[in-house]
Chains A and B, each alone.
Chain A
Amino acid sequence: MTVLTRARRLALLAGGLGLALAASGCATAEEAGVDEGTGAGTGTDVTGAEIDCSQFDQFGDSLDGTEVEVYTSIVTPEDQPFKDTFEPFTECTGITVNYNGTKQFEAQLPVRVQSGNAPDIAFLPQPGLLEQMVSTGEVAAAPEAVAQNVEEHFSEDWRDYGSVDGTLYAAPLGANVKSFVWYSPSAFEEAGYEVPQTWDELIALTDQIVQDNPDTKPWCAGIGSGEATGWPATDWLEDVVLHELGPEVYDQWIAHEIPFNDPRIVAALDRVGSILRNPDYVNGGFGDVASIATTTFQDAGIPITQGNCWLHRQASFYQANWPEGTEVAEDGDVFAFPFPQIGESAGKTVVGGGEFVAAFADRPEVQALQYYLSTPEWANLKAQATGPGWLSANTGLELDNLTSPIDQLAAEQLQDESVTFRFDASDLMPAAVGAAAEWRELTAWIAAGQDTQTTLDNIEAAWPAS
């Protein structure tokens, strides 16, 4: 028996290998899509940058030789620019920064805090987590120097998201803007299309595209994201709610002062459905409406570069997903325009996200790092170190330091005082809603054609009782 199976196994193996060898072609470095260097090396080298060392004098003279642990959800390759910006800081103060990133951050942080093993500093990706951490009593309030920086360099919206019950705990770190619609400027120019300013113009443009291009669909979308499948759909809904109903209703909706299935929210979701569930409008390059649920968000916009799709609503960070060699610029292969305003009353608004720097210790070296991270100086260094794909809501961030036009556009929106910023609603709602029911129900709404009212009723039912 053993001999037989062994012989068969070997034969199979040899056959398989032979087949693979006979048919194989070897890819060149270019075909393999290999970046030069480590893939993150698109920014400038800031490790030798000069910063003003005297600003750290206020934290005393016992900093040299100390260590600070930074715990984050930002992992390779995005972690390298962070580490690079810490070097001038270490040079000045003698403080070693231990950067510790894991994607299981959100699950592990409460475990570490509860068992008395809290990190010195954590980059919290959402205000809801900040609130939860503050309620454990382990988070140290932001020191005076940080509070001053935040007062001076961040808008009130951002300050509020870093505060709990009026006390500032965490200074904002990075930011991203979600209210963008990606398109191809070159294709638009060829077809003679204009960037729409209002929702009506957007729909008119969509209809125009349907008429002119019977072979393609105007919109492409994808909400697949593993266990988080559905989140891009929540962003769609948030964009429409904020741009149509305004920040006030948006805040009430988050705070559950109006129910999730409020008639206005029903109307908003129907408005989303007028695009996402319209078989004439979607899903360019992929198939029918249901294909939205199975397409991963990373791949969802790619058909724009292939000419199979015209419009794709996704955040500024989507620029990292374009295939190698795609030019992201206002006159390039792809670019984005701000999500158009729907109602007059809503004013100019933008949905986005960001991280916050919370400290679980008040040692001088920890406060020194907190302070450093809230300075415009750091924001500018970080922008240079990262290259495309990072920005901050820090008003001291100079747009010239942002190498990507989409980052510049996003930062302009964040720095514009007439634009109201609102944090991603699903990140602020209880996890049972924003990170479970909403994802699940909106996926069913797209994949199975579930009725809008039922969808929102089900999400409302998932809201925790307290």
Chain B
Amino acid sequence: MSGQTDTSRVVTNPTGEIESRPRKLSRAEKRAIAAKNRLSSPAASVIALLIAALWTVPTLGLLITSFRVESDIQTDGWWNAFARPLFTGYNYVSALETGLGDNFVNTLVITIPAVVIPITLALLAAYAFAWIPFRGRELLFVAVFALQVVPLQVTLIPLLSLYVDLGIDGSFWTVWLSHTMFGLPLAIFLLHNFMKDVPASLVEAARMDGAGHVTVFFKVLLPLLVPAIAAFGVFQFLWVWNDLLIALTFAGGDATPLTSAIADLAGTRNNAWYLLAPGAFLAMAVPLAVFLGLQRFFVRGLLAGSVKG
């Protein structure tokens, strides 16, 4: 890391010349510097800003719409709010009056276990696939990974009949179990790859010191895996939070989450569609906060394992 700071200081020298050469740069480092030069040029910055702005415009529009008065929303687009500013928080009040608060809690109740359960199971499975040799390991791993190919839509009706037979339909269990099932193949695959990347010497050294599987897992591997877990956690969190299909099929009645409640928010004949903007913004708030809060983790998690040493 310190080498990187060195070179970056060299490169950002205002004259643009490389003044000092503390050591000979490797080819990879030279390439990195070239890429960095290209990416931090003013033109690239302008383009990046432009993309960022374009990317933000729909969200901004949604935010502005959510605060406009009903008749304005129905008459023209959100950009007219700049010319004719008239804002209100009543849309949020009426959206919440329909009971969105309960659905918000439901979504939390659904999301947290639906993230924790697959990660826990996948960690154990990934450890076994990576560090416990057993017969048919490769075959089983390929089989698990191949499950990703199955579109979850084909499983909806058989799963639901299973749940009905078990007598747990309409409860949170069905949603937790379904999200766990659909999330596990990817989770096992990702975590397995991260675990495999941990140098074998590290694990062997721990073994030599007398550590069993449990100690190796908790003391050696888990601390190294935190970024990977966070990365998958963010993925799974966003997926479960925004999921409508599984929620519609399995979570009825009292377990209805935000997404399906918002789908119904506009009313039977859609004449309350102005409520959709505040509803959507309420639903976005938590994922947005999670993403902004864990952004650094997220990027680090994606990079972890891709760069060695």
Chain A interface (Cβ < 8 Å from any Cβ of B): 1, 8, 16, 20, 23-27, 29, 31-34, 38-39, 73-78, 98, 100-104, 107-108, 111-112, 114-117, 225-226, 298-299, 317, 320-321, 323-324
Contacts of B273 on A, CB cut-off 8 Å? 298
Contact A102 B156 (CB under 8 A): no
A214 vs chain B, min Cβ distance (A): 25
Asked if B217 CB lies within 8 Å of chain A CBs, one says no
The answer on a CB contact under 8 Å between A103 and B161 is no
Size of the B side of the interface (Cβ < 8 Å), in residues, is 44
Contact of B269 among A8, A32, A34, A317 (CB under 8 A): A317
For the complex, is B271 an interface residue (Cβ under 8 Å from A)? yes
Tell me which residues from 230 to 258 in chain B have a Cβ below 8 Å from any Cβ of chain A: 248-249, 252-253
Closest CB in chain A relative to B273 CB, distance in Å? 8
If the complex has contacts A8-B49, A27-B69, A117-B164, are A111 and B87 also in contact, measured as CB distance less than 8 A?
Answer: no
Q: Are B87 and A25 in contact (CB under 8 A)?
A: yes
Interface residue B20 (Cβ < 8 Å from any Cβ of A):
no
Q: Cβ of B161 and Cβ of A33 under 8 Å apart?
A: no
Asked if A115 contacts B97 (CB within 8 A), the reply is no
Q: Which residues of B contact A76 (CB under 8 A)?
A: 98-99, 264-265, 267
B87 touching A34 by the CB < 8 A rule? no
Compute how far the CA of A31 lies from the CA of B163 in the bound complex, rounded to whole angstroms.
49
The 8 A-B pairs of least Cβ separation, nearest first, read: A115-B160, A27-B88, A33-B70, A115-B161, A32-B88, A32-B90, A75-B264, A23-B85
Complex Cα distance A149/B248, Å?
A: 35
Report whether B253 and A98 are in contact in the complex, using a CB–CB cutoff of 8 Å. Answer: yes
- List 27 contacting pairs A-B, 8 Å CB cutoff, sorted by A: A1-B40, A16-B60, A24-B85, A24-B87, A26-B87, A33-B70, A39-B272, A76-B98, A77-B267, A78-B267, A98-B253, A100-B253, A102-B263, A103-B268, A107-B248, A115-B158, A115-B160, A115-B164, A116-B161, A225-B270, A226-B270, A298-B74, A298-B269, A298-B271, A299-B74, A321-B271, A324-B71
**Secondary structure at chain B's binding surface: helix, strand, loop or mixed?**
helix
A8 nearest in chain B by CB position: B49
Q: Are B260 and A104 in contact (CB under 8 A)?
A: yes
- Closest CB-CB distance, A170 to chain B, in whole Å? 19
Chain A residues near B87 (CB-CB < 8 A) = 24-27
Chain B residues whose C-beta falls within 8 Å of the C-beta of A33 in the assembled complex: 69-71, 90
With contacts A76-B264, A100-B252 known, is A34 near B272, CB below 8 A? no
Q: Bound complex: CA of A299 vs CA of B270, how far in Å?
A: 11
B169 on interface, CB distance cutoff 8 Å: yes
Q: Is the CB of B269 within 8 A of A31?
A: no
Question: Contact flags (1/0) for B268-296 with A, using CB distance below 8 Å?
Answer: 11111100000000000000000000000
Cα-based distance from A34 to B97 in the complex (angstroms): 12
- Residues of B contacting A16 with CB < 8 Å? 60
With A24-B87, A111-B160, A299-B74 already in contact, the answer to whether A104 and B268 are too (CB < 8 A) is: no
